[in-house]
Each structure stands twice: as structure tokens, then as C-alpha cells.
Amino acid sequence: MPSEPTSARAESGAEQPEFDPRAYWEERLEGTFSLGGVGWFGLGEGFNRWMYRVRRRVFLRTARRAAPDLSGARVLDVGVGTGFYVERWRELGVRDLTGIDLTDVAVAGLSERYPEHRFVQADITSSTGGLPAEGFDAISIMDVLFHVVDDQRYEGAIANLQSLLRPGGVLLLTENLLHGDWHRGPHQVSRDADWILGLLDRSGFEVLSRGPLFVLMNTPVDTRSRLLKAWWWVLMNVLSRARFLGGPAGAVIYPAELALTATLREGPTTEILAARRR
């Protein structure tokens, strides 16, 4: 079993907030079945498109290093949303693709868009959706796990992912991996790196790589830098009031973000991690 949170963590999160993730995401995707619906809600489509350009570059780089030969690979994407990572796996040459999502709207929309692939409605924290054990060579679960606010369900998600991945298969995930106390919100929890990495190790995963998904374009939840915090405060306040500036702002930040994510070993915000099932 994973280690219990420290007293500081336990005090901040003794009672799990009531949260219905399926209803939350159904409402968001029904309202906006686009990158703005699954990305940084409130910052607009323009800025989110640049964020997803960064996600694409970092994901492709990480996947190619962790799984250089994807010919004939069976791949599962968990939390498919609007299908962004389905497209990335296709870009890597994968043809045997399956997707899981909490919501009916995502499953219906992607089944229509990609009839050659399979999409299943399931909650990975409690079910594998009837998919075969050890049925996949690679699994991605991107920007999903920190939305699992219940710690036992989080553990259930990792156990289910492990059961679906063949021995030697690769798991790609994003998480916040804090170096301090946990941050708990109504629909997001940022957990510390030791807890997450310890859980992965006990669940039979060996970490292959870890690096920043973002540095400048996401909330700096894992830093003491006043400069980074001030930067994000200004950016958030400007873009939330003038969304039309999101596109130009993203275009300006994008080159620096690519350089930083390629050179830093850890980041002040969400990171991408590749692990292999032992």
C-alpha cells in the first residue's frame, strides 16, 4: 500500500471533496468539444492551441525515446477527450488504437470520427472497461490523474493501468510531482513526487524518464520562485480579461517553452513521465 500522507498533507486533505468527475467532464465537453474544453478553461482557444503545440512536441519526443519501435503496437489512450493524443499516436505510426473515457460525449464523438479504432466508456479508477488483461504495448494517460481527487481511486487507476499493460510495455503519464505539501482542490489534487513515484514502484513500474511538459505556460505549482509566480499571475489576469491576446501571447512564448522543456530535467509545473512495466 502507498505511504500515508504526512500530517501537513493529511490536515489539508482529511476530507475528500465531493466531486462527480463524469458529470463535470460531460458538461465541459458538451459545451466545448475542442481544445478549449479540455485545456486551460478560461484562457480561450488561442492560448490553448499553443499549449497543445507544446504538448505535441514534448509527447512525441518522450514517446519516441521510450518506445522507439511502435510498428504493430497495440496502444491504449486513457481519458481520450477530444482525441488529441489519438492523433499523436497515429502520427507515430500506430494503427491499433483503443481509447477509454469517462464521458459518453467523447466516446460517441471519437467513434464517429475514427471508426477504425475502438472507444470505450469506463472509469479507469474502478474498471478496465472489459479490455483484455496485458492487452497493450503502450498506454498514455495524459492530464488525467491529477483530476482523480480520491487517493484510493488514484491507486485503483494505477493498478488497472498495470493490469492492462503487457510486461515490458510502456506507460506515459503527466503529473505535477510536487516537492512539498499536496494541493487539494474540488476537481484537482497535486500530489508529491515521492508518493506518486513510490506508488508506481510498488505497482511494478520502472521509471524511464521524467521531464517538464511545461515551464512558462502552466500554473507553477511546484516552485518557490516569486518571478515565476508573478509571471503566471500577470499572464492569467491579462488573458482571462482579453482572450483575443491568447494566440499572440502563445506564439511569443512557444519558442522559449520548447527550449526549456527540452533542456530542464524537472519543471515548476506539470511533468511528463515514461515508465516500463517490469
Full 3-state SS string of 67-125: CCCCCCCEEEEECCCCCHHHHHHHHCCCCEEEEEECCHHHHHHHHHHCCCCEEEECCCC
- The overall longest dimension of the chain from CA atoms, in Å, is 50
Long-range Cβ contacts of 19-24 (<8 Å, 24+ apart): 19/149, 19/186, 19/187, 21/102, 21/123, 21/147, 21/148, 21/149, 21/187, 22/102, 22/103, 22/123, 24/187
Confidence band for 276, pLDDT divided at 50, 70 and 90: very high
pLDDT in tens, 128-173: 999 999 999 999 999 999 999 999 999 999 999 999 999 999 999 9
Lowest mean pLDDT: which of 8-17, 64-73, 90-99, 104-113? Answer: 8-17
Q: What is the pLDDT of residue 122?
A: 96
Q: How far apart are CA 70 and CA 77, in angstroms?
A: 14
Q: Coil, strand or helix: which one is 184?
A: strand
pLDDT > 70 in the chain, percent: 85
Confidence band for 7, pLDDT divided at 50, 70 and 90: very low
- By CB neighbour count within 10 A (0-12 exposed, 13-18 middle, 19+ buried), where does 11 fall? exposed
- Tell me the one-letter amino acid at 62: T
- By CB neighbour count within 10 A (0-12 exposed, 13-18 middle, 19+ buried), where does 204 fall? middle
Which residue in 139, 149, 217 sits closest to 173, CA to CA?
A: 139
Kindly report the average pLDDT of the chain as a whole number: 89
Q: What is the pLDDT of residue 24?
A: 61
Tell me the average pLDDT across 81-106: 95
pTM for the full predicted model: 0.87
Residue 239 pLDDT exceeds 60: yes
Between 44 and 200, the more confident residue is: 200
pLDDT in tens, 66-78: 999 898 999 999 9
Confidence band for 221, pLDDT divided at 50, 70 and 90: very high
Residue 250 pLDDT exceeds 70: yes
Q: How far apart are CA 88 and CA 98, in angstroms?
A: 13
State the first-to-last Cα distance of the chain, in angstroms, to the nearest integer.
Answer: 18
pLDDT in tens, 17-66: 466 666 665 565 555 555 555 556 667 788 989 999 999 999 999 999 99
Q: What is the pLDDT of residue 32?
A: 57
Tell me the average pLDDT across 104-129: 95
Confidence band for 187, pLDDT divided at 50, 70 and 90: confident
7-277 belongs to which homologous superfamily? Vaccinia Virus protein VP39 (3.40.50.150)
What are the grid coordinates assigned to 208, written together?
A: 524511464
The pair phi, psi for residue 248, each rounded to 5°, is -60, -40
Residue 1 pLDDT exceeds 50: no
Q: How many CA atoms lie within 13 A of 222 on its CB side?
A: 23
Residue 177 pLDDT exceeds 70: yes
The pair phi, psi for residue 79, each rounded to 5°, is 80, 50
Pairing of strands 96-101, 165-175: unpaired
